[in-house]
C-alpha cells in the first residue's frame, strides 16, 4: 500500500495496532498522540521492522490550533494524505447521567466528537481536491444503544455514526470513501481510563471472555482501506464471538 495514512491516538490500543498493520503493508504514516516519547518509540520500531517512514505529530486532538498548525507545517511530501483514521477517543467514569462530572464529560465530548470533526474538516478538503481519499472513523458498539453508566459515551459514539453517515452523503459525488468501524469488547488501555486508573476493575471487564485486541480492529481498518476503489465498506460491527450486544455477553 503506497499511501500516506494519518492516525490520531496512535500511541496505544487500536491506533497503535493500525500503525503496525498499515506499516507492514508499506504505507507511510503520520502518527498523532500527546506523548512524544511513545510516538518516537513507535516510529523507530516501525522503521526497524518494516523499513517504513513515519512523521510524528504530537498534539492533543482537542487543541484545534495545535492541530491546524501541525497540519499546515507538514512537509510537501507528507501533505497528500490518503487515509485519515479518526481513532482518538476515550470515556471517563461509569457515572449515572444525573451524577456525572461535567468537566470529564467535556473531555469525552471534545475528544470523541469535536476533535473528529476538526480533523475531518482540516484533512478532507485536500482529499476532495486530489480526487482520492478514505476516512475511517473508529466508532463503537456503544453507539447502537445506551447502557448503564455510559449514556454520554454512548451518545458520542452515536454521533460518530451520524457524522460518518452524513460525511458519506456529502461526499457521494466524489471518489472518497467513509467507513465507520464499531468495535465491541477490545482489551486496551481504554477501560483503565474509564475506571480512572483502577486496573483491577478494568481487567474484570474482560474476565471469562476472549476480547478483541487493537490488532484485530486494525485488520478490519486495513481490509476497508485495501478494498477495490469501487467498493465502500460503509460500516462494520465487530465483536468477540461470545458477545451479542453492548450489554449481552457470555463469560465462562
Is 55 one of the catalytic residues? no
Q: Are 136 and 224 in contact (CB under 8 A)?
A: yes
Q: What is the Cα–Cα distance from 133 to 151, expressed in whole angstroms?
A: 33
Can you name the residues that pair with 86 across neighbouring β-strands? 137
Task: Pick the catalytic residue from 3, 153, 182, 222.
Answer: 153
For the chain, percent helix, then strand, then coil, each to nearest 5?
45, 15, 40
Q: Which of 100, 85, 199 is nearest to 152 (CA)?
A: 100
Q: Are 17 and 42 in contact (CB under 8 A)?
A: no
Rg of the Cα trace of the chain? 17
Q: What is the Cα–Cα distance from 228 to 3, expressed in whole angstroms?
A: 14
The torsion angles phi and psi of 48, rounded to 5 degrees, stand at -70, -40
Q: What is the Cα–Cα distance from 238 to 212, expressed in whole angstroms?
A: 9
Task: Pick the catalytic residue from 3, 21, 28, 157.
Answer: 157
Query: Helices marked H in 74-198 — which ranges?
Result: 102-109, 115-130, 151-170, 190-194
Is 157 one of the catalytic residues? yes
Q: Which residues are catalytically annotated?
A: 153, 157
Amino acid at each position: 500500500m503506497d499511501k500516506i495514512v494519518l492516525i490520531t491516538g496512535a500511541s496505544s490500543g487500536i491506533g497503535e495496532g493500525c500503525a503496525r498493520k498499515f506499516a507492514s503493508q508499506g504505507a507511510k504514516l503520520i502518527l498523532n498522540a500527546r506523548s512524544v516519547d511513545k510516538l518516537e518509540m513507535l516510529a523507530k520500531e516501525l522503521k526497524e521492522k518494516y523499513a517504513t517512514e513515519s512523521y510524528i505529530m504530537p498534539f492533543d486532538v482537542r487543541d484545534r490550533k495545535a492541530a491546524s498548525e501541525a497540519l499546515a507545517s507538514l512537509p510537501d511530501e507528507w501533505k497528500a494524505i490518503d487515509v485519515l483514521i479518526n481513532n482518538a477517543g476515550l470515556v471517563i467514569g461509569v457515572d449515572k447521567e444525573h451524577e456525572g462530572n461535567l468537566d470529564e464529560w467535556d473531555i469525552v465530548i471534545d475528544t470523541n466528537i469535536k476533535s473528529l470533526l476538526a480533523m475531518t474538516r482540516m484533512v478532507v478538503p485536500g482529499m476532495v481536491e486530489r480526487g482520492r481519499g478514505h476516512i475511517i472513523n473508529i466508532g463503537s458498539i456503544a453507539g447502537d444503544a445506551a447502557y448503564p453508566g455510559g449514556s454520554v459515551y454512548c451518545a458520542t459514539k452515536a454521533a460518530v455514526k451520524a457524522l460518518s453517515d452524513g460525511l458519506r452523503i456529502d461526499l457521494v459525488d466524489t471518489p472518497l470513501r467513509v467507513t465507520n468501524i464499531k468495535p465491541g469488547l477490545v482489551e486496551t488501555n481504554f477501560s483503565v481510563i474509564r475506571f480512572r486508573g483502577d486496573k483491577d476493575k478494568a481487567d474484570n471487564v474482560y474476565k471469562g471472555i476472549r476480547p478483541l485486541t487493537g490488532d484485530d480492529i486494525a485488520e478490519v481498518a486495513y481490509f476497508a482501506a485495501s478494498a477495490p476503489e469501487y467498493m465502500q465498506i460503509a460500516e462494520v460491527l465487530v465483536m468477540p464471538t461470545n458477545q451479542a450486544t453492548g450489554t449481552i455477553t457470555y463469560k465462562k
